[in-house]
């Protein structure tokens, strides 16, 4: 067997007009049954030969990823040769006539390849086009089923794609629902969901109805005279299965902003998915929420608690805290996006549930939200005010401008012998509740049975956390400052800020006259809450 070392001659850049020029390597086609081995290093290879007879020229590339193209004399206008698999690898082929000057190039090679070149046949390359389908003829198609995959044995052009139904009616399958992808063979992925769903919604198709997927004008892309079958038409008959349930709404709406923290007892911890049909509570549903970047190592996925009631699935995020930003693969920071994924849903009568993102390649129901940390204006005040005497007081009132979650309220004091003592009340014993008159959240801490006399007493709300996840410092010490309001605010001549309870600045004024002329209500004067009557 004759062997030729086939070297890549790289493109040479000319000074003008700065265009890469292709240089071909001439090869001599072997006579008779001989096989020429062309050894190629990495890169793109160009070669040229003159056909000395009619026949089919074969380029056997084995099991490498090489592709062979026919070109013009400049190496351009590339057309990939048709191919088929033989026992020893993939074979590209082309018909030639005696005297033809033929130009070819390869795709980019990453590894050395030995390609075998040889003749066979009489010059005819007409072999029947074959196609296989991921659905058998007459199979049942459901709107939650996989896409229709058609596999051709070569690259083909298709003139038209139709879905035929009823008594002679048909509708064209949109180009956006067709994905022709080249791999070892040629795949047509046809997403029937959209067009079938539209026909179902219009009343043109119902469960049990038959319809036909028809491709017309199927021809070999390299030789348009070669048609599939006798007239280039392929038909697949399918039967519509049970129409699945659909998602009607999500509250909060898909794509909206959501807070980063979901405390116990929060009002926005629940995400409600409402469907067109009653759901099966025992259908093995899996609900997850995820965020982050896999490549950056910041990806997190966790299971979520949920309940099913009728046609609603309610996801509960209580106890979850999510970061406002995550590190991306590029090393930067981006806003966190929460991804809800609901798998395994079925209706009460056993039907499937259609995914709401048809092009996502999943049968799950999805929802996406951008995390946004809330800004919370927060003030805390005590009555009596911090530092004042508690002698004769039966309780301490704590006032908050915004709600908090907390583990308890602790009172610390010194007994008559100087020993440190404390008592902790649970949230149930000392709850915070909205008070219209006080225009805030108020809790009453009882002092009965606490023998502190005139010694310091400290009241602390334990583990206080705001609705956005920030910690809140709510603590005051009493019996250590009885100088009065002036001492707490800024002194009689000091200037203080006067704000509404939601943090809006009204004025800056001397403490002694800070509330003069204000309408009745509750205000924040410096760090204290003051009621104007």
Residue 486, pLDDT above cutoff 70: no
Q: Give the CATH number, domain containing residue 292.
A: 2.60.40.1220
Is the pLDDT assigned to residue 205 strictly greater than 90? yes
Among all chains, which residue has been given the structure tokens 């009607």? Answer: 248
Instruction: Out of 193, 208, 240, pick the residue that ends a domain.
Output: 240
222 plus 309 within the same structural domain: no
Give 389-409 pLDDT, tens digit per residue.
Answer: 898 899 999 999 988 989 999
Please tell me the predicted confidence (pLDDT) of residue 463.
Answer: 94
* Residue at 67 is within a domain: yes
Q: What pLDDT was estimated at residue 36?
A: 87
Query: Is 3's pLDDT higher than 70?
Result: no
Tell whether 446 and 464 lie within a shared domain.
Answer: yes
Instruction: Give the distance from CA 95 to its chain's centroid.
Output: 49
Domain membership of residue 511 (yes or no) is yes
**Percentage of the residues of the chain whose pLDDT score is greater than 90:** 42
Residues 71 and 163 both lie in one domain:
no
More confident residue, 116 or 526: 116
- Please check the confidence at residue 478 and state whether its pLDDT lies above 70: yes
Q: Is residue 245 part of a domain?
A: no
pLDDT above 80: residue 120: no
Distance of alpha carbon 410 from alpha carbon 378, whole angstroms: 21
Of residues 86 and 415, the one with the higher pLDDT is: 415
pTM (global) more than 0.75: no
| 202 plus 114 within the same structural domain | no
Q: What is the pLDDT of residue 87?
A: 65
User: Last residue of some domain: 197, 221, 240?
Assistant: 240
What local confidence, expressed as pLDDT, does residue 182 receive? 62
Is the domain of 269 the same as that of 326?
Answer: yes
**407/356 same-domain check:** no
**Same domain, residue pair 379 and 362:** no
Is 125 contained in some domain? no
So what's the pLDDT on residue 184? 52
Number of domains observed in the structure of the chain: 5
For residue 217, the model assigns a pLDDT of 95
Q: Is residue 109 part of a domain?
A: yes
Which of 31-35, 88-92, 109-113, 167-171 comes out lowest in average pLDDT?
31-35
The answer to whether the CB of 506 falls within 8 A of the CB of 484 is no
Q: Using 50, 70 and 90 to split pLDDT, how confident is the model at 412?
A: very high
Does residue 159 lie in a domain region?
yes
Same domain, 256 and 367: yes
The pLDDT value recorded for residue 372 is 92
Residue 345 lies in a domain: yes
326 and 384 together in one domain: no
Strand extents, DSSP E, 221-364: 234-240, 247-251, 257-258, 270-275, 286-291, 300-303, 305-309, 312-316, 325-327, 333-335, 337-343
* Long-range pairs for 300-305: beta carbons < 8 A, 24 or more residues apart: 304/340
Q: Residue 11: what pLDDT?
A: 33
**Mean pLDDT within 218-234:** 89
373-392 pLDDT, tens digit each: 888 889 899 989 888 889 88
pLDDT the model gives residue 21: 66
- Residue 127 structure tokens: 């072999």
The pLDDT of residue 444: 96
Task: Looking at the structure, tell me whether residues 37 and 14 fall in a common domain.
Answer: yes
CATH for 14: 2.60.120
What average pLDDT is seen over the chain?
Answer: 85
Q: Examine the fold and report which residue of 120, 143, 176 is the final residue of a domain before the chain moves on.
A: 120
Residue 495 domain boundaries? 483-533
Do residues 364 and 269 share a domain? yes
By mean pLDDT, which of 176-180, 293-297, 313-317 is the weakest?
A: 176-180
Tell whether 224 and 295 lie within a shared domain. no
Out of 156-170, 231-245, 487-501, which region has the weakest mean confidence (pLDDT)?
487-501
Q: Are 509 and 496 in contact (CB under 8 A)?
A: yes
How high is the pLDDT of residue 121? 59
* CA-closest candidate to residue 335, choices 255, 273, 264: 255
Distances (CA, A) of 393 to 176, 388, 396, 397, 461: 76, 11, 7, 10, 19
Query: Quick one: pLDDT at residue 323?
Result: 92
pLDDT at position 7 over 80: no
- The dihedral region occupied by 47, where left means phi > 0, alpha psi between -120 and 50, and beta the remainder, is beta
Instruction: Read off the DSSP letter of residue 485.
Output: H
Does a structural domain hold residue 420?
Answer: yes
């Amino acid at each position: 067997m004759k062997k030729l070392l086939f070297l890549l001659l790289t493109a040479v850049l000319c000074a003008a007009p700065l265009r890469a020029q292709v240089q071909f390597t001439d090869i001599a086609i072997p006579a008779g049954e001989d096989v020429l081995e062309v050894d190629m290093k990495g890169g793109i290879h160009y070669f040229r030969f003159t056909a000395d007879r009619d026949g089919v020229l074969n380029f056997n590339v084995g099991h490498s990823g090489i592709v062979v193209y026919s070109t013009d004399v400049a190496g351009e206008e590339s057309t990939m040769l048709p191919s088929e698999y033989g026992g020893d690898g993939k074979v590209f082929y082309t018909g030639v006539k005696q005297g033809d000057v033929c130009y070819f190039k390869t795709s980019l090679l990453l590894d050395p390849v030995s390609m075998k070149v040889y003749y066979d046949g009489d010059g005819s390359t007409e072999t029947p086009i074959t196609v296989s389908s991921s659905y058998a003829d007459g199979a049942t198609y459901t709107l939650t089923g996989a896409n229709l995959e058609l596999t051709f044995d070569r690259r083909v052009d298709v003139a038209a794609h139709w879905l035929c139904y009823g008594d002679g009616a048909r509708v064209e399958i949109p180009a956006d629902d067709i994905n022709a992808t080249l791999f070892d063979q040629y795949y047509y992925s046809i997403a029937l969901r959209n067009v079938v769903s539209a026909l179902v919604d219009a009343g043109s198709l119902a469960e049990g109805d038959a319809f036909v997927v028809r491709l017309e004008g199927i021809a070999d892309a390299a030789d348009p005279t070669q048609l599939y079958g006798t007239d280039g038409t392929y038909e697949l008959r399918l039967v519509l299965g049970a129409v699945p349930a659909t998602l009607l709404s999500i509250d909060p709406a898909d794509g909206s902003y959501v807070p980063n923290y979901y405390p116990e007892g929060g009002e926005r911890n629940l995400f409600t998915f409402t469907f067109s049909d009653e759901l099966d509570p025992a259908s093995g549903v899996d609900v997850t929420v995820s965020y982050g970047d896999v490549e950056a190592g910041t990806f997190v996925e966790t299971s979520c608690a949920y309940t099913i009631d009728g046609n609603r699935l309610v996801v509960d995020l209580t106890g979850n805290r999510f970061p406002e930003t995550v590190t991306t693969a590029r090393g930067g920071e981006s806003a966190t996006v929460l991804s809800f994924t609901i798998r395994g849903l079925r209706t009460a009568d056993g039907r499937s549930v259609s995914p709401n993102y048809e092009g996502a390649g999943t049968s799950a129901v999805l929802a996406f939200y951008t995390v946004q940390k809330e800004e919370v204006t927060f003030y805390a005040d005590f009555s009596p005010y911090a530092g004042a005497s508690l002698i004769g007081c039966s309780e301490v009132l704590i006032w908050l401008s915004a709600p908090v979650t907390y583990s308890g309220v602790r009172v610390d004091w010194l007994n008559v012998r100087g020993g440190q003592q404390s008592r902790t009340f649970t949230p149930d014993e000392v709850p915070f509740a909205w008070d219209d008159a006080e225009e805030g959240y108020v809790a009453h801490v009882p002092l009965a049975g606490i023998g502190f006399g005139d010694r310091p007493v400290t009241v602390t709300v334990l583990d206080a956390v705001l609705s956005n996840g920030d910690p809140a410092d709510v603590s005051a010490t009493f019996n250590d400052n009885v100088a009065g309001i002036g001492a707490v605010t800024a002194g009689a001549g000091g200037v203080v800020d006067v704000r509404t309870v939601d943090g809006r600045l009204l004025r800056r004024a001397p403490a002694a006259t800070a509330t003069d002329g204000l309408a009745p209500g509750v205000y924040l004067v410096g760090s204290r809450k003051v009621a104007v009557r």
